[in-house]
Amino acid sequence: MAEFTMELNDDQKQVRDWIHGFAADVIRPAAAEWDEREETPWPVIQEAAKVGIYSLDFYAQQFFDPTGLGVPMAMEELFWGDAGIALSIVGTGLAAIGVLANGTEEQIGTWIPQMYGDQNDVKVAAFCSSEPDAGSDVGAMRTRAVYDQAKDEWVLNGTKTWATNGGIANVHIVVAVVDPELGTKGHASFIVPPNTPGLSQGQKFKKHGIRASHTAEVVLEDVRVPGSCLLGGKEKLDERLARAHERARSGGAGERVKNAAMATFEASRPAVGAMAVGTARAAYEVALDYAKTRTQFGRPIIDNQGVAFQLADMRTQIDAARLLVWRASWMAVAGRPFTSAEGSMSKLYASEVAKKVTAQALQILGGNGFTREYPVERMHRDSAIYTIFEGTSEIQRLVIARTISDMPIR
């Protein structure tokens, strides 16, 4: 296992520069247009597929980087380009992580390639967990999956919301309740193959930010999927449910059982932190360049301590956020347990930094920052999502507090 380092090796630097070039040359020039259109930027995704960035092989290489820095490095550079377009490019990854975290080898080999398609026929995937009444409170989930033993099929009914690529995806990963008595421990994840009857897109959301990324409801009405589409398989599920029931009967003592959605989020939180770092860094660079060239009262505004000190704080916070993300990413690949909720720490701090830094950048640009002529207005809108999706900042604080105290804080 690689030792922790704060220095990228030559191969990582080459990949970073390659992704940065794509972000600068392809993503950024298209950012304003697709933000205004509020549509999935299929041409950009296809360009990413052509050069190899939108592909299973690319994400596998970054995912299995022995230092753990491949994924956060890639996320930072793509989201430096534009958060909305980048999320359209990487949104499939959350569904892929769901399969990697919970699926069998056969499921991984069968379904993940279908999530991406190929450069001539690009596909996307969706991870569907949140519901209208079950966002942070996953215990309130109502979507049900009932096993039809005679046909070896699972029947899914319910409505999912806030699903990236929901309804337009080739493959949907759906979290559903299989044993209501067990609360969150009675959840399981299912693969819904392409063109499965009963799955439809509900409302498509008009959003404050990340508007180039498609977000919608997913409606499931008597959706039947083969038994082989239960992630991990039925034998594994039955064993897990039996352990959970035994633990409940013994008053909670014994093995801690994680539900499928939380396993996916736990694996992805440092990556979300890296996305936030990319957006924050982009806004900081715009503000720094502006402060060095914008003159007031006969001198560049960076000569004023009020501006210079803001930029100093912005850079310090960005670097601190990146280090938290890198630490959590390295710990995950090294098999080190998050004994102090280091994954949630990285997501919490980087998300809050992104909101703060983009707001400061907008302020440094003054009236210009408030217009769409400059990108910080869009970056400021985009940054709001990081403190909301894949666990709000409040939920991250709750996870950290419970972990460091070992108490059921409410």
Catalytic residues: 390
Q: Residue 268 region, left (φ>0) first, then alpha (ψ -120 to 50), else beta?
A: alpha
What is the bridge-based pairing of β-strands 117-118 and 299-300?
unpaired
Q: How many CA atoms lie within 13 A of 387 on its CB side?
A: 14
Q: Is 201 exposed, middle or buried (0-12, 13-18, 19+ CB in 10 A)?
A: middle
Say which amino acid occupies 336: R
On whether the CB atoms of residues 252 and 179 are closer than 8 A, the answer is: no
d(CA 175, CA 362): 39
Cβ-count burial of 294 within 10 angstroms (0-12 exposed, 13-18 middle, 19+ buried)? middle
Q: Minimal CA–CA distance to 391: which of 285, 281, 271? A: 271
E strand or H helix at 10: helix 10-22
CA separation for the pair 191, 169 (Å, rounded): 12
CA distance 241 to 129: 19
Rounded Cα–Cα distance for residues 184 and 182 (Å): 6
Q: For residue 146, which amino acid is it?
A: V
Three-class DSSP category at 118: strand
- What is the widest separation between alpha-carbon atoms in the chain? 82
Would strands 199-204 and 215-226 be described as parallel, antiparallel, or unpaired? antiparallel
